[in-house]
Structure 1
Amino acid sequence: MPASATERNSTGFQQPPAPITLEGYGVRLTPMQPEHAEALESAAADGELWKLNVTSAPAPGQAAQYIALALEGLKAGHMLPFVVEETDSEDIIGTTRYHDIIPSVARLEIGYTWYARRWQRTHVNTACKLLLLQHAFQTLGAGVVGWRTDILNLASQNAIERLGARKDGVIRHHALRRDGTVRDTVMYSLLADEWSGVQKQLLQRLAADT
């Protein structure tokens, strides 16, 4: 449900965004909880995703800490983490979140996204992004949604661009990778007044994929 006027700042943005379950298009985004650790480790094991420098998937034995850090971000008001469930099987197949939430300018980013290998290059990413974007623009009142990704992660860049986001530029020497090397970060954004057209494209794509 949309927030009441007393829960919104001067930009019209709901602050802080409250945990909520988002469901549709074959997926369910459920607020991340400590008890999801085992299922997330199992999902990350499909493809040994922790071996990839360009993903945030936890290594074996680290899912509990991964969740704890995400929930610290939730408590601080700048993150809203979800686990991703496939609705037919109810299996947890990955995770995603809102992060870098800045209510004063009605901005948030979508990231920390990864899926078990068998669900990559399927309808799942489009479905998750559609749910997150619908909630961000139509319920939270976001003025802009952003993404960031490693300049070496061409698959992620292609996926973000397929969503209809605009490339804003590259921040050089921006963040550490798992292996200690320093990455350049590619930044993207989608404005609220661009959302209607993008939503139509995503719905058409899902109709073709499912």
Structure 2
Amino acid sequence: MIAVEPVALEFNGVHLEPLSLEHVDGLRLAAADGDLWNLRVTSVPEPHRTQAYVHAALEMKDRVAFAVVDSSSGNVIGTTSYHDILPAVDRVEIGYTWYAKSVQRSHVNTSCKLLLLSHAFDTLGCAVVGFRTDNFNYASQKAIERLGAKKDGVIRHHAPRRDGTVRDTVMYSIVRGEWPEIKSHLHYQLSRHAC
């Protein structure tokens, strides 16, 4: 049975550290890089709601949230989490992920996912790691598929969006037996785009 605790992880110029209220200002700046809260299909907080966003993340019982920090500058460039943690079946999901626009389409997402997946499978002993996204968030779906995750299906009329509409949720997963090949592929992807 897995036990997910806050932990610091670092790789390839990216540092994940347990999210705290000390990260509020950095997250506010990261969200402002691209006005990310205006994207209908994400959960990026508006600047004046960043502190409440962090409070909510810290209060969730089945979520371990991280600040994504650029190792060289020390700047907060986004956030990600383990969530929907199910110890009885050795399952976690990775989500609540967003990055400043200036680091999107860089090594950051692949590096973060490699850190979290490695920790989940190699340290925690997870049997499966899941991902979910809005049915209209095509960029997120492509990013999840580039990781090597398999599409499990769609949960219809599943979760509210900030604009009051209700989204369908696209579910993906990676199972333990797939991890060695996916791990090798993620290292290969990063080697082709060395930072």
TM-score (norm 1): 0.91
Unaligned runs of 5+ in 1: 1-8
1:31 corresponding residue in structure 2: 18
Question: Residues of 2 paired with 1:177 and 1:53: CA distance?
Answer: 7
| Alignment partner of 1:160 is 2:147 | no
Match of 1:53 among 40, 44, 47: 40
- Identical pairs, percent: 57
How far residue 63 of structure 1 moved from its aligned partner, in angstroms, is 1.1
In structure 2, what is the Cα distance between the partners aligned to 1:195 and 1:161? 14
Following TM superposition, by how much is the alpha carbon of 1:88 offset from its aligned partner in structure 2, in angstroms? Answer: 1.4
Give the AA of the match of 2:101: R
Structure 1 segments of 4+ aligned residues over 2 angstroms from their partners: none
Say whether 1:68 aligns with 2:60.
Answer: no
1:81 counterpart residue number: 65
Structure 1 residue 193 corresponds to structure 2 residue 177: yes
Offset of residue 56 of structure 1: 1.4
How many Å separate the matches in 2 of 1:88 and 1:35?
18
- Within 2, Cα distance between the matches of 1:25 and 1:127? 6
**Superposition deviation, residue 89 in structure 1:** 1.2
Q: Which residue of 2 aligns with 1:144?
A: 128
- Unaligned stretches of 5+ residues in structure 2: none
Letter in 2 for 1:69: A
Give 1:98 deviation, angstroms: 0.3
1:60-114, Cα deviation, whole Å (9 max, x unpaired): 11111111111111xx2x1110000111111110000000000000001000000
Which residue number corresponds to residue 42 of structure 1?
29
Distance 1:120 1:150 in 2: 18
User: Secondary structure of 2:51's match?
Assistant: helix
Pick the aligned partner of 2:88 from 104, 119, 129.
104
Helix, strand or coil for the counterpart of 1:169?
Answer: strand
1:58 alignment partner, SS class: coil
CA shift for structure 1 position 57: 1.1
Are 1:22 and 2:9 an aligned pair?
Answer: yes
CA distance in 1, matches of 2:155, 2:98: 22
| 1:101-140 map, 5 Å | 101-140=85-124
Q: How many residues align?
A: 194
* TM-score normalised by the chain length of structure 2: 0.98
Three-state SS of the structure 1 residue aligned to 2:167 is strand
Q: What SS class does the counterpart of residue 61 from structure 1 fall into? A: helix
Q: What is the RMSD of the two structures over their aligned residues, measured on CA atoms?
A: 0.7
Report the CA distance between 1:26 and its aligned residue: 1.3
Q: Give, in whole Å, the separation in 2 of the partners of 1:123 and 1:137.
A: 21
